[in-house]
């Protein structure tokens, strides 16, 4: 399993080889994109009015066909917006306005601030391609007729790989790794413990934590100094802290007249934090400073795996969870928040997530479309008030999902020791806590949150290191296999 995951990671991290060639003496652009699995041709018709993009491939069917969906999903996903399909042959038209808007030369984008020196609203609607040329590396230069006022002598420059991305469409994230759907056995066999010193001082260790978080949604940092500021230092190694009404960092320990069940010694079932907010924090950190009480074990489970199990056992329940809203609510201590969400959110995933470890190809396809899972029963304000809601079936589906999360083989349970920090994806991995005896010792955790974009900004920064780690691990796995033969 690990070898397949590593190979899939390398495929997604490797850059496709792109070449450009002139097919016509006037205005054509041809881009040939090669990867391990597919190739496509993008050509510009000899016209100043629009770019005509055509996909051709000798060994694969057209990208829009049923056969090609598995091989070239990103082409299907990005055939809207600036490019519009115009025929059964897969031709796509893209206006020169779009090409002009994407110019990032030093006259259009300030090299220091990296901000635009023009407004897209000032692009003339009658702009046309005047001429174009390409160098040996396939980089493109374009001059314009009726350019933006003040840009009369301007020449647009496009690198060959940037040109491809303009028309096949870059994904929402610049880099996507492969997520492994896990139960306890898979997680324990694939995860790695990272020390605090390595994480804070070694770039490769930082990259490994980012990789594991994207891969599993859960990682543990060991040897963390037992002081209240440590959790903030760990979070800021990845990105800026997400501030909430709890503060930029916050305590988790029992207090009298608690305003949150987390601040009691009661059992706290599987949940995610702050779902009553329109944009809940994407990642959460919990640093254990003291944990000498009897009980109080931390529990984690992968909701993607629970969906995988439920798809196999009763797909109707999955469909119900993806189409019925719940309203989450927090109303206490002068704070009021409320927001409605589906349990399973499949909105706006383009291209689909890369997932590994599903029980079947159909399950993998469904889970690849999941953007988030929302599960936090303690903070539900009300069931859906929609007139078409079938409450009996929704309760049955929710109970089945809850029971699946609680399956012993899905749960990672650990009594976190002082000096351990758990980091997890708050919109994929649910967490829980067993009850504990306050009179038997002390239990003190410090928490913090990170936003989605800040995490993936750091992922983009360390992507080269992640490539190296993945490649090294694949080499080690192959060596072990050779030795065992």
Residues 300 and 281: their CA atoms lie apart, in Å, by: 17
Helices (H) and strands (E) in the chain, counts: 14, 28
Q: CATH assignment of 17-168, given 3.30.2020.30, 3.40.109.10, 3.40.50.970, 3.40.50.300?
A: 3.30.2020.30
> If 0-12 CB within 10 Å is exposed, 13-18 middle and 19+ buried, where does residue 138 land?
buried
106-110, 233-237, 351-355, 391-395 — most confident range: 233-237
Average pLDDT of the segment spanning 39-55: 41
First to last CA, the chain: 18
| DSSP secondary structure string for all residues of 41-73 | EEE--S-SS-EEE----SSS--TTSTTTTTT-H
Query: Residue 126 to residues 97, 123, 166: CA-CA distances in angstroms?
Result: 9, 9, 20
Average pLDDT of the segment spanning 472-483: 80
Average pLDDT of the segment spanning 98-102: 87
pLDDT at res. 395: 95
Q: What six digits make up the tokens of 40?
A: 């496509």
Would the pLDDT of 171 be above 70? no
Residues 199 and 209: their CA atoms lie apart, in Å, by: 8
Spell out the residues 6+ positions from residue 151 whose beta carbon is closer than 8 angstroms to its own: 107, 108, 118, 144
pLDDT interval class at 30 (50, 70, 90)? very low
Give per-residue pLDDT as tens, 419-428: 999 999 999 9
Q: CATH assignment of 178-471, given 3.20.20.70, 3.80.10.10, 3.40.50.1110, 3.60.130.10?
A: 3.60.130.10
Contact 103, 156 (CB under 8 A): yes
pLDDT interval class at 37 (50, 70, 90)? very low
Query: Residue 1 to residues 214, 335, 475: CA-CA distances in angstroms?
Result: 17, 47, 15
Cis omega before residue 351 (within 30°)?
yes
Average pLDDT of the segment spanning 371-389: 87
pTM for the structure as a whole: 0.73
pLDDT at res. 256: 54
Would the pLDDT of 381 be above 50? yes
Residues 271 and 149: their CA atoms lie apart, in Å, by: 56
Least confident of 351-355, 440-444, 468-472: 351-355
Least confident of 43-52, 59-68, 180-189, 455-464: 59-68
Domain ranges of the chain: 17-168, 178-471
Give per-residue pLDDT as tens, 298-329: 999 999 999 999 999 999 999 999 999 999 99
pLDDT at res. 98: 83
């Amino acid at each position: 399993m690990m070898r397949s995951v590593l190979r899939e990671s390398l495929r997604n991290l490797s850059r496709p080889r792109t070449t450009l060639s002139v097919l016509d003496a006037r205005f054509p652009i041809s881009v040939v994109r090669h990867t391990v699995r597919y190739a496509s041709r993008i050509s510009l018709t000899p016209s100043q009015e629009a770019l005509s993009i055509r996909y051709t491939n000798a060994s694969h069917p057209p990208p829009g066909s049923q056969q090609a969906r598995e091989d070239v999903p990103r082409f299907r996903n990005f055939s809207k917006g600036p490019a519009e399909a115009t025929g059964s042959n897969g031709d796509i038209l893209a206006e020169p306005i779009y090409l002009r808007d994407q110019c990032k030369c030093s006259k259009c984008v300030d090299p220091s601030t990296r901000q635009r020196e023009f407004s897209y609203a000032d692009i003339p609607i009658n702009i046309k391609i005047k001429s174009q040329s390409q160098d040996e590396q396939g980089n493109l230069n374009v001059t314009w007729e009726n350019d933006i006022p003040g840009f009369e002598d301007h020449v647009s420059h496009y690198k060959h790989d940037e040109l491809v991305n303009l028309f096949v469409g870059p994904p929402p994230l610049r880099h996507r790794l492969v997520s492994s759907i896990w139960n306890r056995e898979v997680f324990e066999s694939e995860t790695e413990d990272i020390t605090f010193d390595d994480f804070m001082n070694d770039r490769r260790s930082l990259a490994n934590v980012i990789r594991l978080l994207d891969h599993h949604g859960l990682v543990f940092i060991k040897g963390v100094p037992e002081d209240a500021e440590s959790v903030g230092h760990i979070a800021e190694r990845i990105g800026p802290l997400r501030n909430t009404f709890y503060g930029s960092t916050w305590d988790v320990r029992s207090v009298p007249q608690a305003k949150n069940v987390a601040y009691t010694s009661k059992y706290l079932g599987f949940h995610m934090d702050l779902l009553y907010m329109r944009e809940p924090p994407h990642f959460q950190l919990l640093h254990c400073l003291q944990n000498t009480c009897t009980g109080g074990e931390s529990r984690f489970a992968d909701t993607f795996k629970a969906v995988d199990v439920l798809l196999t056992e009763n797909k109707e329940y999955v469909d119900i969870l993806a189409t019925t809203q719940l309203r989450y609510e927090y109303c206490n201590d002068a704070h009021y928040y409320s927001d409605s969400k589906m349990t399973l959110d499949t909105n706006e995933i383009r291209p689909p997530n890369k997932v590994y470890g599903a029980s079947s190809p159909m399950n993998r396809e469904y889970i690849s479309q999941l953007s988030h899972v929302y599960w936090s029963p303690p903070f539900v304000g009300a069931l859906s008030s929609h007139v078409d809601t079938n409450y009996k079936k929704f309760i049955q589906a929710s109970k089945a999902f809850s029971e699946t999360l609680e399956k012993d083989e899905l749960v990672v349970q650990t009594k976190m020791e002082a000096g351990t920090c758990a980091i997890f994806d708050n919109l994929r991995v649910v967490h829980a806590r067993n009850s504990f005896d306050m009179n038997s010792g002390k239990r003190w955790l410090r928490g913090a949150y990170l936003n989605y974009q800040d995490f993936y900004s750091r992922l983009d920064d360390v992507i080269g290191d992640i490539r190296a780690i993945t490649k090294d691990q694949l080499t080690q796995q192959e060596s072990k296999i050779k030795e065992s033969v």
